[in-house]
Amino acid sequence: MSLGAAPVARIDLPSRDIGRQREFYSRVLGLAAEEGAYAAFRCGALRLVLRPRGDALFPSGGAAAGGALLAFAVPDDELERWHRRMMMARVAVLEAPGANGAAPRRLRVSDPEGNVVELFAAAP
């Protein structure tokens, strides 16, 4: 048996400040929040869930907290608009898209807890 063909259904991100994370993913990225015990967002068939760090799944402790990279495909002509939006929202831009269509055709930013969100040019 293999999970190779099974789609990923959910990603849980540990969060120290769920309110701040919810604000980033809803206001800055424009994801619609679901109702429930934890902040959750629908991303196509995938469900993104913010869980409190320190619960049974993501205990807080002495070990360094891990991070994640979430990548979203967007139309190439929207990358500059997303870049401007991140700058206006004062989001930490880690890598800006290449100027005038030059490589790299991706935008990498940091969410409030240091996870990387990548917006990349979808193949035509």
As a whole number, mean pLDDT of residues 70-94 equals 93
1-58 pLDDT, tens digit per residue, is 556 677 788 998 988 899 999 999 999 999 988 876 668 999 888 899 998 887 776 7
Mean of the per-residue pLDDT values of the chain: 85
User: In the numeric block, which tokens belong to residue 50?
Assistant: 């913010």
User: In the numeric block, which tokens belong to residue 26?
Assistant: 């809803």
User: What is the structure's pLDDT at 51?
Assistant: 86
**Which residues, in sequence order, are CB contacts of 80 under 8 Å at separation 6+?**
97
Q: Spell out the domains of the chain, with CATH numbers in brackets.
A: 8-55 (3.10.180.10), 67-124 (3.10.180.10)
